[in-house]
Chains A and B, each alone.
Chain A
Amino acid sequence: MAIDPVSRVEGHGKVTILLDADDRVHQVRLHIVEFRGFEKFVQGRPYWELPVMVQRLCGICPVSHHLAAAKALDVVVGAPKLTPTAEKVRRLMHYGQILQSHALHFFHLASPDLLFGFDSDVGRRNIVGVAAEHPEIARRGVLLRKYGQEVIRVTAGKRVHGTGAIPGGVNKALTEVERSTLLADAYQMIAWARDAVALVKKLHLSNVALYNSFGAFRSNMLSLVAPDGGLDLYHGALRARDAAGTILFDQMSYDRYWDRITEEVKPWSYMKFPFLRELGPEAGWYKVGPLARVQNCDHIPTPFADAERREFVDFGGGQPVHATLAYHWARMIEMLFAAEEIKELLHDDDLLGDDLVVTGERHRRGVGVIEAPRGTLIHHYRLNNNDQVLRANLIVSTTHNNQALNEAIRQVAKRYLDGRKLTEGLLNHVEVAIRAFDPCLSCATHALGKMPLAVELVDAEGKTIDALTS
């Protein structure tokens, strides 16, 4: 069986569900053309172009790539520690992005599924439908995102694809007017973010059986954490837990991430499969992103978000929550954290400073890691003596989540595939599972209110027995 294409999957994508001789699902393959060519065409370019160039990888979370590249180049220019102004402006930029991206992901792309039901009318199951039936929810979603975009504009110069972070620092601080303008709405954003957590929690608790089991799978978890174990999405060291929540390693500097993480290539996918070296490819794959981060950290350094984290952890009853749909709950906790963090930063006078850039001893290699909205993001560059890029290695969040995505879809297929017949219902459920991880894989669906699916049903002998196009 092939579901093709999942619209807007970084360009192209399809889901292949392999049946065994008894017509049972035994494997799922999510094919995503994650290859974007950036690692090749940055070769030879001067390093200071990288933060601006590589952010074009993504239109939803370009700030992640902008900052991960800048962090890698901080090492190159001998500035592992930035000035307080530069670090806080970058943090503000990043949390602005977390806010806008999480708002987009939940309100615009995922909430239609959750509010209307996975099998509801596709013509209504979009943000326009949400606006018609739940106008206040839709309005807040739009305004939360708009606020995050405005934070990005103030720090990076543009709402999308700015230039704020440069190797060793930033190219601008905030003016008093910019700060006070953002502060004027900061508390409203926190209030709305709290309501968003309440909404997603209510949805989850209103149908615990479904939400806990849908696409659920157990896995290791990976993320950055702060030195004190707290949640920090801008900087930290690597921590991994197993599926039971036991720490596998902690406070590992990401400078040599390859000592802990390596990638496997499979012949049927362009995307690599990262895994933890010490556990091997079969047992070492992991999930990243909100669900991993909120449970990997020991605490969240802002009060409202930490209270929500504790409630979330309590909901797990002493075990990590592995429900795929709990990604949304964790995502909204992070959005609340971002809103609180933005408010805290805006009260800090360092944002108005004029000491913007640090330089020191040059190096020819730099690794930058950041927690992007979808998960851990690694940028790794090597330079020649003439300031040109020799090699680049980018491991993006969706790649980290590759096996996890496949596993979530497999669970959904096992549960919802009925015999040898494809149904719209199955396709809808596959979409919902993908969307829990990554809006990049589904944004056209809800943005347009239509998902053109070409479906092929192939039996164990490779024979096409059914076809369906929506």
Chain B
Amino acid sequence: MTANGAADVFLLDGEPIPFAPGQTVMQAALAAGHYIPHLCFHHDFKPHGSCKVCTVRVDGATTASCTLPAQAGMSVECKADDLEENRRTLVQMLFVEGNHFCPSCEKSGNCLLQAVAYDLGVLDADLDYFFPSRPLDASHPDLLLDFNRCILCELCVRASAEVDGKHVFALSGRGIGKHLIVNAESGRLVDTTVAVTDKAVDVCPVGVIIRKRVGFAVPIGRRRFDARPVSAQALEDAPRRAPPEAAP
């Protein structure tokens, strides 16, 4: 708070954004009704800063807005052409690094990657596809892992550890070799402690962690992003006041 009792503010593309102590630029922006594109950020979890789609510029330096603490008086640039272009490229890279076949994917219409891509105007990849070979893990009776669609956001990793208390999921490897693994000697999901009711199952923003035998049960027109674009929904879902103890 300022000395006269008013909320502290920073500037986002020239607009004053009020914030509470401990809020990040992303949290404050969403709470104030300003959408910053993002993939790995989730209100229920500590900011992670890995996807870089939310990258903004402050004083000439670029940084992930989901991990950047808001500070009074700072001037944050978000909608610059070069930043938007970088976001599109990042999303395109995610598409080509995995195998994202939206036409036959049951997550289509409910997929954050697809929704963000549409919102950013990404209509093709513009890059060579990697076409990696990533066999499914269908060993579990009620869940299926389709690693082809993983964007390494670590939301399942965080949810399993922080909410479910199970540590079922983890990322292994480095760089382009990084991939999702499960916590079982066999390497198979059936041998983990995962349950269909786990937060980790629900939180997957793409089509990696799938409940079996229910795909396409929701008709076109009633899927999550059929009604409104992700930019509108992110604002609706954002907490409107500062979450206590939210920051790391």
Contacts and interface: CB of A to CB of B under 8 A. Distances in A.
Do A and B make up one complex?
yes
Contacts of A157: 219-221
Given A44-B135, A46-B144, A49-B104, A387 B219 contact: no
A56 B216 CA distance: 16
Given A56-B104, A386-B139, A387-B138, A48 B215 contact: yes
B219 A388 contact: no
Interface string B173-213: 00000000000000000000000000000000000001011
Nearest to A156: B220
Interface string B97-128: 00000011110000000000000000000000
Interface in A148-172: 156-158, 161-164, 166-167, 171-172
A42 to B, nearest CB: 9
A53 interface: yes
A52 interface: yes
B104 A48 contact: no
Given A52-B104, A53-B104, A161-B103, A46 B220 contact: no
Nearest to A56: B103
Contacts of A46: 136, 138, 144, 210, 212, 215
A434 to B, nearest CB: 29
A388 B216 CA distance: 16
Contacts of B171: none
Interface in B136-154: 136, 138-139, 144
Interface in A44-70: 44-46, 48-49, 51-53, 56
A167 B215 CA distance: 10
B74 interface: no
B106 A386 contact: no
Interface residues of B, number: 20
B216 A171 contact: yes
B106 A48 contact: yes
A217 B216 CA distance: 45
A14 B144 CA distance: 44
A56 B144 CA distance: 23
**Which of B106, B144, B215: most chain A CB closer than 10 A?**
B215
Interface string A164-182: 1011000110000000000
A387 B212 contact: yes
A46 B215 CA distance: 9
Nearest to A47: B213
Given A46-B138, A52-B104, A56-B104, A172 B212 contact: no
A171 B103 contact: no
A387 B213 contact: yes
Interface in B26-52: none
Contacts of B61: none
A164 B213 CA distance: 15
B7 interface: no
Q: How large is the interface on A (under 10, 10 to 19, 20 to 34, 35 or more residues)?
A: 20 to 34
Nearest to A357: B217
B136 to A, nearest CB: 6
B103 A52 contact: yes
A179 B104 CA distance: 28
A388 B218 CA distance: 21
A163 B210 contact: no
B98 to A, nearest CB: 15
Contact of A171 (B104, B210, B213, B219): B219
A162 B222 CA distance: 13
B106 A49 contact: yes
A56 B103 CA distance: 9
A338 B215 CA distance: 30
Contacts of A45: 136
Contacts of A166: 215-217
Given A46-B136, A388-B136, A388-B138, A164 B104 contact: no
Nearest to B222: A172
Nearest to A52: B104
A338 B11 CA distance: 62
Interface string A380-399: 00000011100000000000
Contacts of A48: 106, 212-216
A451 to B, nearest CB: 30
A366 to B, nearest CB: 14
Nearest to A167: B213
Contact of B216 (A44, A52, A161, A386): A52
A77 B215 CA distance: 14
Contacts of B217: 166, 171, 357
Nearest to A51: B216
A163 B218 CA distance: 9
Interface string A357-393: 1000000000000000000000000000011100000
Contact of A49 (B135, B215, B220, B221): B215
Interface of A: 44-46, 48-49, 51-53, 56, 77, 156-158, 161-164, 166-167, 171-172, 357, 386-388
16 contacts: A44-B136, A45-B136, A49-B106, A49-B215, A56-B103, A56-B104, A157-B220, A157-B221, A162-B220, A166-B217, A167-B213, A171-B217, A386-B139, A387-B138, A387-B144, A387-B212
Question: 9 tightest CB-CB pairs across the interface, nearest first?
Answer: A157-B220, A53-B104, A386-B138, A172-B219, A48-B215, A171-B219, A163-B216, A52-B104, A388-B138
Given A163-B219, A388-B136, 19 more contacts: A44-B135, A44-B136, A46-B210, A46-B212, A48-B214, A48-B215, A48-B216, A49-B105, A52-B103, A52-B106, A52-B216, A77-B213, A161-B103, A162-B220, A166-B216, A357-B217, A387-B138, A387-B144, A387-B212
